[in-house]
Structure 1
Amino acid sequence: MNSSKNILNQQKQDKDKKKSPSAAVPEKKTGGGGGFLAGRDIKPIILSVLCVVVVLVLCIGVAIQQFKPRVVVTVGDKKITMDDMMFPIYEVEKAYLPYNEIYESYYGTSVWDAAYQGSSSSASGVSNSVGLKQEVIDNEVQYQILYEKAVKEKYSLSEDDKKDAEEKAEEALKGLSWGQKLQLNISKGKLVDRFEKRALADKYKEDRQEELNKDVDEDTAIKDISKKEYRQYDVQYYYASLKKSDEKGNSVDLPAADKKKLQKKFKDMAKDAKGGKDFKKLLPDKDDQIILDDDTNFTEQGGFPYLSEANLKKVKKMKNGTVSEAFLDDATGYYVLLKMVNNNSDEAYKTACDNAIKTAQDEAFKTWYEKEQEAYKIEINSDIWSDVTIGTVTTDIVTLEDLQEMMEEDSSGAKGSSEE
């Protein structure tokens, strides 16, 4: 019995030994006693580190791509980037931005949405934003081509040319903060290089234009311009509108009593003028209704909007130095008193001829340039350039308020210099 108990106890002890580790065998430890990874599964940690590395690589790649110069247009071997385009875009937006409020106030549209009146290669009927955008890139391409041709033909700048480029660079930077210069990608060195490049291209263009002008037939250019139609009449005149604005800003007719007072004033002025009084001093006091324009003109074909056709015929027959009757013509919406200064000026005719010749010369250069342009491979990167909208690129960098402050500083500086 006792032996049976002993056997059972011995079997139980042997079974317990199999369940628990032997005291003689030390427990294996990982990574030292109390380390960060002690007792941890390192696979999730390794995966987390790998994920962080992958994200960093992707971020760095995107950053490199963002900071990589974005090529807008390639002209031959020259790559012109968006950074290069920032200043010419700024020049255009700076010139037009001050007029934006006026356009919105008077025309109900922004200056950028107004009809483009320039001469870029854009289709007619486009907005300023579209036309000026084309103008900017056309000019940059042309400057590059003319600059390369100038360098090839050994053109160089004089010291005065270089000094002028430096002065233009300094003027362009005036009033801009460090941050604005950085965003516009400009510095004095970069702008001096740009203005010197423009000067060299312009010098080459002037020489080519001079040569091309020799082949322009000026007689042909002006043959359709009529001396009779462009006969110019130089006049001085007083006028008053027969309309006024009511409390709501609407245009309404003057009351009959006000018209009667105006009629008397014009008749009295006509009487004084014919009596020998200085025409420019016919109004003794400042008048809110009657306005004097002492230097204007109109042509035979252009007419004069303040006078009816019948009264205009009378004016055209006037001799130099004479004063008209008081024209009280309600149909035109104005009362007018006029003095003839010169009834047969050729100024308008000469201007029309000059413009016609200039147009023919410009056309000659355009034909020459388009032929020269064929030798260059020109590629516009639409992925970049199509995202550009003139009127939005630099107007948040240099705002209207910034431009107004610059103008005030310039005028106060000029005033201070004149006083010295």
Structure 2
Amino acid sequence: MIKTAYQKGLNFAKEMDLQDPLASFSDEFHIPTQKNGDKHIYLCGNSLGLQPKQTASFIQQELDDWANLGVEGHTEAQHPWMPYHEFLSESMAKIVGAKPSEVVVMNTLTTNLHLMMVSFYRPTSKKYKIVIEADAFPSDKYAVESQLKFHNIDPADGLILWKPREGEHLCRLEDLKEIVAENKEEIALFMIGNTNYYSGQFYNMSEITKLGHDNGIIVGFDLAHGAGNIQPNLHEVGADFAVWCTYKYLNSGPGSLGGCFVHERHANNKELKRFVGWWGHNKDTRFNMRKDFDPIPGAEGWQLSNPPILSMAAIRASLAIFERAGFENIREKSEKITGYLEFLLSDFAGDKINILTPKNPKERGCQLSIQVKNADKSLFDAITKQGVIADWREPDVIRIAPAPLYNSYQDVFAFAELLKKLI
């Protein structure tokens, strides 16, 4: 659907919901309710996704197996715990555009980022700098700075920030190319958040990866705001590694496990330095405790400890919904419903609203980051009091994310009408 096909009025939103092939999936999620019993309009999947109703039964199955089987649950549970992480690999691989062998669910995002940088950030006296977008999520910046310090490199010297131009909010690829042209002999790593948490900008991963590899630079991405939101096509793009969380668009619950991608070209490189643990050891000899470490080929070889099954059960519950919905369908609705939100805001925005997020649907996910002229957090607080759960980011941005699996066009219409009224 193109922008001019959108129409004003509630009837159009209702008609879009009637035509929406994913409309029924909202019934599969718990939607928070207000004190008066009405459902909130939940537009915050970019911060914490809603709980699928089937999550409880998925976790309860593991609790029952633990109660009834004890340690035998590792092999005798309905979904045996020993290979449990493997039950997630195929579905997760579809979501990030990878081969199952290139993907593993383990640890949490920043832990995985550190593990990846141990292996893929190998600074020398000449080639040691890391490029990161200037407004990266703070945890990424902290992690990168700490890695530089670990190698006795001053971040003031070793960290290069890819910045928007003065007066702009979005990073330009030509500016990254200029950074490389000026510093290519010294840059060791690109560590880019593929969808920026603040602006919602989805970077061109293929061009970034090619730029890096053409200049001898390792390329990694943080998909925290991308996984389950956009299709990063990691294998085809050719990134060396990527990491992500699962509690935002992937609806796995607060603080749940993260995901990790290692491109297959690194799969059998046993010389690649890494921090290791027994769960990354050859499965055939894992329980022969006196064997030297023999890494499993692929991403599994970076595992440290046996996985937390209850958290993985929650991820499996959500991935099962993604499988039934089909990620192509999810992405198609994402473009439509986000475009509809943009259309409604533009209808009354005038010079009152500035949308930071790119207008091109291929350069964004379902998040729009908006600034309201002369407004402060009191506007956001007023929106919240009216039953909308959204997200505020200092100094003056409201992030709105209509998640395709559980948000409706009527949700978007109701929010736009409320914002129009308040401003």
Please tell me the TM-score bracket, short chain as reference: under 0.3
| Higher helix proportion (structure 1 or 2) | 1
TM value normalised by structure 1? 0.23
Compare CA radii of gyration and give the structure with the larger one.
1
